[in-house]
Structure formats: structure tokens, C-alpha cells
């Protein structure tokens, strides 16, 4: 996949999946713009000093002005990949409104604002582009969201946004898709579920590869998809 000199925004790029995506993009020739809010995120990010990585601090992705600042600093935006989000388990009866809204803000509002900013930027340039969101398996299989309904609902909203936006911007040659991961093989998940079949989980590098294809120029026809990346689970 040819990403040579293409500029890509990767939210959540300092996390485990985000780092894998940024690493693969750099290897393919891209220039990555990675926002963060806490200094500790940047400090632990292995690629922070790479010549083709621009870290952008103090970017609260649920704030419109911060998102505008992020995209205003990106020349010739080709793709916007939205990995940033958060997870919480809680039965509905024990979930407060503030906890619900936190999930909505982290998983839906951040991606919505970044999608909007990306579309404006790409439309002005007139060169098309790609947008990739990150949903989750329960966003497609709602019953799997029992015990984490706020998280599930926020990600289901993101999946719906993906499909609707894909239809809205296709004439601008902007292709919008999402992935829906199941449990990924990360150190944190292994620690939380030590007795699980880790070999069946989706590998982070494989999930990143799916994102890279959807965001690439080689993807010429896929839009409005929420692609399952479940591994063998």
C-alpha cells in the first residue's frame, strides 16, 4: 500500500492499537499527526521522536475548537483514523447519567467531531480521502453488550454514523468505513483475562493491517462497511 508522503491523522495513536497503526503507516511512507491530551501519553509513545510523526498536545477531542486546531495543522490531509475511545463495564441500573455521557463523549462525540473536521478539510482540498472509525463487536451484536450497555450504545452510534456518513460524502470521493474488533491480544487484556484462550484473540498487527487497507488509496470501492475483526473468537 502506497502511503508515500500522505498525511494521516490518527487519534488514539499513542495506545496499543494506535501505535501499531502509526508504525505500519510510517513503514508505508506516511506522515502521521497524533494528538494527545496527557503528557504521559507522549512520554510512553515509542515513535514520539520519529521524523514523520507530529505529536500534538493538549487536544481534547470532544472539544470542537481543539479538533479544529488539530485538523488546521495538517497539510493535504489524506486519511483520518479514529481509534481514541474508552471502555467501561456497568449494568444499566448502576450507570449514572454522567457515566453514560462520558462513554458517549469518548466513543461517539470525539469521532463525530473528527469526521466532520476531516470531511471539511478533504472537501476543501478536492482530492478525496479516507475515514476509518473503530467500533466494537457489541456494536454489531447487541446482546454481547450486556453489562456494558453504555459502551455498547456509544459504539453502536458510531457504527451508524459511519454508514450514514459514507453515503453522504461518497460523491466527494471520501470513503468512510469502520472496523469492529472483538477482544484484542494486548498485555492489558491478558492481565485482565489470564485464563482466556489468548491464541484465539485478534492480533493487534492484523487489526492494524485492516485499518491500513481501508484508509489506503488501494481501497477504491469499500465504503459504509463496519468490518468484523474478531480473530477466532
Q: Is residue 169 part of a domain?
A: yes
Instruction: Note the pLDDT of residue 180.
Output: 98
Asked whether residue 220 is domain-assigned, the answer is yes
Asked, for residue 62, whether it belongs to a domain, the answer is: yes
Q: Is 104 helix (H, G, I), strand (E, B) or coil?
A: helix
Asked whether the predicted pLDDT for residue 1 surpasses 90, the reply is: no
- CATH number for position 98: 3.40.50.720
Residue 211 has pLDDT above 90, yes or no: yes
Q: How confident is the model at residue 149 (pLDDT cuts 50, 70, 90)?
A: very high
DSSP structure string for 124-182: HHTS-EEEEEE--HHHHSGGGGTTBHHHHHHHHHHHHHHHHHHHHHGGGTEEEEEEEE-
Query: Considering its fold, how many domains does the chain have in total?
Result: 1
pLDDT at 233: 87
For residues 173-187, b (16+ Cβ closer than 10 Å) or e, as one string? ebbbbbbbbbbbbbe
The domain of 69 spans: 7-229
Query: What digits encode the pLDDT tens for the residues 42-77?
Result: 999 999 999 999 999 999 999 999 999 999 999 999
pLDDT class for 221, splitting at 50, 70, 90? very high
Band (126; pLDDT cuts 50, 70, 90): very high
User: Per 3-state DSSP, what percentage of the chain is helix, strand, and coil (rounded to 5)?
Assistant: 50, 20, 35
Q: In terms of DSSP bridges, do strands 174-181 and 53-56 run parallel, antiparallel, or are they unpaired?
A: unpaired
Q: Would 55 be classed as within a structural domain?
A: yes
Structure confidence by residue, pLDDT tens digits, 85-119:
999 999 999 999 999 999 999 999 999 999 999 99
Full-model pTM: 0.97
Amino acid at each position: 500500500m502506497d502511503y508515500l508522503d500522505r498525511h494521516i491523522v490518527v487519534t488514539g495513536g499513542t495506545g496499543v492499537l494506535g501505535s501499531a497503526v502509526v508504525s505500519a503507516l510510517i513503514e508505508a511512507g506516511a506522515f502521521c499527526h497524533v494528538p494527545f491530551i496527557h503528557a504521559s501519553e507522549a512520554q510512553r509513545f515509542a515513535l514520539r521522536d520519529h521524523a514523520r510523526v507530529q505529536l500534538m498536545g493538549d487536544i481534547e477531542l470532544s472539544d470542537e475548537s481543539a479538533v479544529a486546531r488539530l485538523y488546521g495543522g495538517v497539510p493535504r490531509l489524506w486519511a483520518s483514523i479514529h481509534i481514541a475511545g474508552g471502555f467501561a463495564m456497568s449494568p444499566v441500573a448502576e450507570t449514572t447519567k454522567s457515566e453514560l455521557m462520558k462513554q458517549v463523549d469518548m466513543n461517539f462525540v470525539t469521532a463525530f467531531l473528527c469526521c466532520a473536521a476531516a470531511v471539511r478539510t478533504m472537501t476543501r482540498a478536492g482530492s478525496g480521502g479516507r475515514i476509518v472509525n473503530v467500533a466494537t463487536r457489541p456494536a454489531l451484536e447487541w446482546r454481547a453488550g450486556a453489562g456494558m450497555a453504555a459502551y455498547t450504545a456509544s459504539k453502536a452510534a458510531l457504527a451508524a454514523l459511519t454508514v450514514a456518513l459514507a453515503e453522504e460524502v461518497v460523491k466527494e470521493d471520501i470513503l468512510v468505513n469502520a472496523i469492529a474488533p472483538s477482544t484484542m491480544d494486548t498485555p492489558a487484556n491478558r492481565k485482565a483475562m489470564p485464563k482466556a484462550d489468548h491464541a484465539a484473540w485478534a492480533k493487534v498487527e492484523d487489526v492494524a493491517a485492516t485499518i491500513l487497507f481501508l484508509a489506503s488509496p488501494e481501497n477504491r470501492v469499500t465504503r459504509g462497511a463496519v468490518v468484523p475483526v474478531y480473530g477466532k473468537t
